[in-house]
Structure 1
Amino acid sequence: MAANATAVPQAYQAYTSAAVPDWLNKGDNAWQMTSATLVGLQSVPGLVILYGSIVKKKWAVNSAFMALYAFAAVVICWVIWAYKMSFGEKLLPFWGKAGPALGQKFLIKQAALPATVHHFHNGTVETAMATPYYPMASMVWFQCVFAAITVILLAGSLLGRMNIKAWMMFVPLWLTFSYTVGAFSLWGGGFLFHWGVIDYSGGYVIHLSSGIAGITAAYWVSALVF
């Protein structure tokens, strides 16, 4: 029995494999990815099927594709520039510096959030940087699915109202100039974050922003059409 107990492959031994950094917790990382998957499933296929089934037949494909396209487009925009605008170094009190989140060195290092550490006037740290026990790749993907579902929730206000070509331009623009502002301000170390505003479940960054944007977009699209 003693011999069998020690015959565990090195890759499965905690903190003994050269390929596994000491800070990585496999359980934390697995749950982070599971959570991201569950959120992603609400979008694709969840809202894709829902949107295609609640409108008239002539709008079904257009409505379903609006959700599918939004998810795919957000993934591309997110890793090229939007992640760091939401969670990167501060450019403005409400916006981070744009940049790619694709480099191997960046993605395999330990996750750290927010990137901008806030200090009191005397130089002491007011809000320390959180360093969870999983890599930046998991953090980037986890935050990406929330950005994607926010835009798709917004799409629900425009079903049967917007041409798919207009929607294809709208998605990257709204992600860049609206979602990233809210995400950085509240989650990424922006001014609301340092004022102590707490948004654990995305009530402001996701639900409020998509709701207000949906009402506004529906109003203006209807006004332009009619």
Structure 2
Amino acid sequence: MEPILAANADLAWMLAAFVFVLLMFPGLALYYGGMVGARNVLNMMTMVMVTLGITSVLYVLYGYGLVSGPSVNDWGLIGNPMDYLGLGSNMSDDGSGNTQVLYFAAWFILFAAITVAIVASGAAGRMKFSAWMVFAPVWLTLVYFPVAHWIFAADSDGISGGFLLNDIGVHDYAGGTAVHMNSGVAALALALVLGARRKRMERPHNVPMALLGGGILWFGWFGFNGSCALGASFLTQVVILNTLLAGSAGILGFAAIERWREGHVTSLGAITGAVAGLVGITPAANTMTPLGALAVGLLAAGVVAFLLSFKSRMKVDDTLDAFAVHGVGGIVGTLCIVLFASDSAPAGVAGILFGGDIGILWKELAGIVITCTYSFVMTWLIAKGLDKVMTLRVDEETEVTGLDSTIHAETAYEIPAAGVGHAPGLIARVPPTVGPSAAGTAEPEPVST
């Protein structure tokens, strides 16, 4: 039930957009890596990047069928995993369009992987890496794949798709439900099971790094939203402009609340506001005029900023604000469709303030409630179950020392000497030069490997 691209020009744009989205992974790694302490930066970045490997394998094996295959028994709950199994039946170019299955498989892999990577933020600095390697594929299979089927699989040629899209009629342009609400709520549930960090109020160790990562994310978002137009068209132009405007307005919305609540505007707040605005426009990008996109960015970022101003009082350690930015931001963006979607935009959806039917409210609320409830309950059960079996959290000594050195045997800002390997849990130091260091103190002795 994959879409069909109309022309080679459309495919060319989609391939370019694919590269944009791929860049979101190092972008997210830098964004989250800069926001954690220096002892855990590589662990956080590795958790983000390894999800791409896990997701690629599972999607090829059975994930594409679960998401895009015909709905089992026409219930709209999950696709048939036997369809597209291994993608091996789609390797011949017979002119029928089957070769596009390969593109859409790659495209959906990136959407799924970025969702899981956002969930990792809820475990920053305190989850065993081995536990994450088990949690990620289980969560993909039991949470992401079903929700993605509900909202991404359209009915076609007598074949049933997901119930949120086809039966309830939820409007979600590019993943406000399956990607953002899903990941934000899941990160909250995972953080709840793991418990708060021992150094909960640890400050971001590298704000310029987080700003760079956020900027790369914004670049990738043009591909993320733009690719959902399925080609190079007027819709693509509208969506890309709205993505720019919502992110820009998000900076201002977050800054306004930050200035009101805290008395100052921060650079980290600026990029967080941009991301919140981008999250907000994701479900609504094809329903808004440019003025509507500005309103979405302002509202989404403003609500997120207001919520984060109470972060120190919250008992749950939503470590890198995934629930606030992605969960709440996605909810606000969806509700903006209800309020001021314009029927002059490509989607032709009218919000209540523009004469739309009140029924749009119940449809979008159903999407929000069903997605958030399922994601939270299932994530909590998965995390609780795995914690009983293998213990998710690292021990106190490992957490205090930092996961970079204890788990990955490396640190972000110390380069081993050439030819010297890593000892378990230790980093080889550069051998001392002759005489004292520039600071007037002796260099440390090299660590034996």
TM-score normalised by length of structure 1: 0.73
Deviations 1:154-199 (A, max 9, x none): 1122111211111000111111000011111111111112122121
User: Paired residue for 1:80, among 61, 71, 74?
Assistant: 61
Report the secondary structure of 1:200's partner residue. Answer: coil
Q: 1:57 aligns with which of 22, 34, 38?
A: 38
String of CA shifts for 1:11-69, please: whole Å, max 9, x gaps.
xxxxxxxxxxxx872211111122222112111x1112222222122211211110011
After superposition, the CA RMSD in angstroms is: 2.2
Alignment of 1:102-181 (within 5 A): 102-105=87-90, 108=93, 110=97, 135-181=100-146
Q: Give the match for residue 192 of structure 1.
A: 164
CA offsets 1:118-171 (integer angstroms, 9 cap, x no match): xxxxxxxxxxxxxxxx71111111111100110111112211121111100011
Match of 1:217 among 180, 190, 203: 190
Q: Deviations over 1:66-85 (max 9, x none)?
A: 00111111111111111110
Equivalent residue in structure 2 for 1:69, among 50, 61, 76 = 50
Distance 2:65 2:14 in 1: 19
- For residue 94 of structure 1, the aligned residue among 65, 77, 89 is 77
Q: Is 1:205 aligned to residue 173 of structure 2?
A: no
Does the aligned pair in 2 maintain the 1:94–1:184 contact within 8 Å? yes
Aligned equivalents of 1:156, 1:217: Cα separation in 2:
9
Distance 1:86 1:41, change over 3 A: same
Deviation at 1:103, TM superposition (A): 1.2
Which amino acid in 1 is paired with 2:44? S
- State the Cα distance separating 1:105 from its structure 2 match: 2.8
- Assess, with a 3 A threshold, how the Cα gap between structure 1 residues 106 and 180 changes in structure 2: closer, same or farther: farther
Unaligned runs of 5+ in 2: 154-160, 197-386, 388-392, 397-449
Distance 1:143 1:193, change over 3 A: same
1:70–1:180 CA distance, 2 compared to 1 (3 A):
same
Deviation at 1:102, TM superposition (A): 2.3
SS in 2 for 1:94: coil
Please give the alpha-carbon distance, in whole angstroms, between the structure 1 residues aligned to 2:18 and 2:165: 23
Deviates more, 1:140-149 or 1:33-42: 33-42
Whole-Å separation in 2 of the counterparts to 1:96 and 1:38: 28
Contact 1:158 1:214 in 2 (8 A): yes
- Alpha-carbon distance between aligned partners in 2 of 1:193 and 1:34, rounded to the nearest angstrom: 27
Residues 29 and 58 of structure 1: CA distance in aligned 2, closer, same or farther (over 3 Å) = same
Equivalent residues of 1:107, 1:136 under 8 A apart: no
Structure 1: 5+ residue stretches without partners: 1-22, 112-133
Q: Which has the higher strand share?
A: 1
Q: How far 1:104 sits from its partner (Å)?
A: 5.0
Q: Which has the higher contact order (CA 8 A, sep 6+)?
A: 1
Q: Is the 8 A contact 1:24 1:135 kept in 2?
A: no
Following TM superposition, by how much is the alpha carbon of 1:107 offset from its aligned partner in structure 2, in angstroms? 7.1
Q: 2:152, 2:162 within 8 Å by CA — same for their partners in 1?
A: yes
Report the identity percentage.
30
Structure 2 residue matching 1:110: 3-state secondary structure: coil
| Superposed displacement of residue 93, structure 1 | 2.5
For the 8 Å contact 1:40–1:149, the answer to whether it is kept is: no
* Aligned-partner residue type, residue 8 of structure 2: K
